[in-house]
Structure 1
Amino acid sequence: MAINRPYRRPSDLPAVIPVFPLAGVLLLPRGNLPLNIFEPRYLQMVDDVLAGDRVIGMIQPRLGPDGPDESERPELAEIGCAGRLTGLQETGDGRYLITLTGIGRFRVVAEEDGGTPYRRCRIDAREFAADLVPNRGEDAVDRQRLIATFRAFLDANGMETDWDAINRASNETLVNALAMLSPYGPREKQALLEAGDLATRSEVLIAVTEMALAREGGDPGSTLQ
């Protein structure tokens, strides 16, 4: 989904953004994330960003030894991804169906105190400036191995996909879409988010999928080499 406003440098992002803490949900640059918004505080958040810069930060609760913080007001992970609100549909029953398109990752500097029922954070995106350059580093992705891993996962789970669409997708689109759609837990999703570059994210995704196949009794070695 196209973004009307370009984000070419980290300073193009707002210094303070609303954040949506959600465990196990991943947004990546130029990926599209559909969300069903129904809690009053997040309905207000959507109304507010529509009247402003349309940027929302997706972030996971902080991960501890036993998983994500599940308290009413969880501590937040240090790194999230900012997205622009690019789609909105009113359902007629008080909900919004929205789409966020990923812009780039950020590090939380501090949480802002009060003022809104939803949470807001001061962010710094400078270390993730490369996220704002489309397709950067995609030539280093081992596309053949990634697709072979994906095929093995589908076969092991009796699933099908649109191979024409897969073959047409750029390496960036393929890696980020598969990472976002992957059925893995919060810890794996955070590792995919924090991967240093596209090729590293692809390698993390391959490794996690191979481990999942091994646990399920598959034989990834014969399929993925």
Structure 2
Amino acid sequence: MDLSSLDLKDVCNLKSFSGTVPLFPLSTVVFFPNTLLPLHVFEPRYKQMVKDVSTSERIIGMALLKPGWESNYYGNPEVYDVVGMGRIVSSETFEDGRINIVLYGLK
């Protein structure tokens, strides 16, 4: 997808938003509105998340992990209360199942 041709009215339209988004927690990423965030998705649980949202609203919440997250990474690590929401505007799946996506930060 050529990101220069994005229709921001369509990308930012939240009229049909269900109010629920899956969280993608990372330790070093803070996601802001009106920015693009490229992600390389390789863990099975997050690959499944991308597949799931790709058939609906294409929205993911990017959450910042709180300190000490390492001890509970594969469980339910704590995240900060404020998250950045983004819509998948580009996606590429590789033969081995890894996925490159680009999120556009919503406001």
Please give the TM-score of this superposition, normalised by the length of structure 1: 0.40
User: Which of 12, 24, 31 pairs up with 1:20?
Assistant: 24
Distance in 1 (CA, whole Å) between partners of 2:68 and 2:82 is 14
- Corresponding position of 1:84: 87
- Corresponding position of 2:13: 7
Which aligned pairs between 1:157-196 and structure 2 lie closer than 5 A? none
Point out the structure with the larger strand share: 2
CA shift at 1:18, angstroms? 0.5
Amino acid at match of 1:42: Y
Q: Matched residues, percent identical?
A: 35
Amino acid at match of 2:86: G
Distance in 2 (CA, whole Å) between partners of 1:6 and 1:35 is 19
Distance in 1 (CA, whole Å) between partners of 2:31 and 2:68 is 17
Amino acid at match of 1:89: E
Does residue 44 of the first structure (1) align with residue 51 of the second (2)? Answer: no
Point out the structure with the larger helix share: 1
Amino acid at match of 1:103: L
CA shift at 1:12, angstroms? 5.8
- Corresponding position of 2:101: 98
- Give 5+ residue unaligned stretches, structure 1: 105-225
- Give 5+ residue unaligned stretches, structure 2: none
Distance in 1 (CA, whole Å) between partners of 2:95 and 2:56 is 23
Distance 1:6 1:25, change over 3 A: closer
Q: Is the 8 A contact 2:63 2:83 kept in 1?
A: yes
Distance in 1 (CA, whole Å) between partners of 2:37 and 2:11 is 18
Distance in 1 (CA, whole Å) between partners of 2:39 and 2:100 is 6
Aligned residues: 98
Amino acid at match of 1:87: S
State the secondary structure of the residue aligned to 1:17. coil
- Corresponding position of 2:63: 59
Root mean square deviation of aligned Cα: 1.8
Distance in 2 (CA, whole Å) between partners of 1:32 and 1:6 is 13
CA shift at 1:92, angstroms? 1.8
Please give the TM-score of this superposition, normalised by the length of structure 2: 0.80
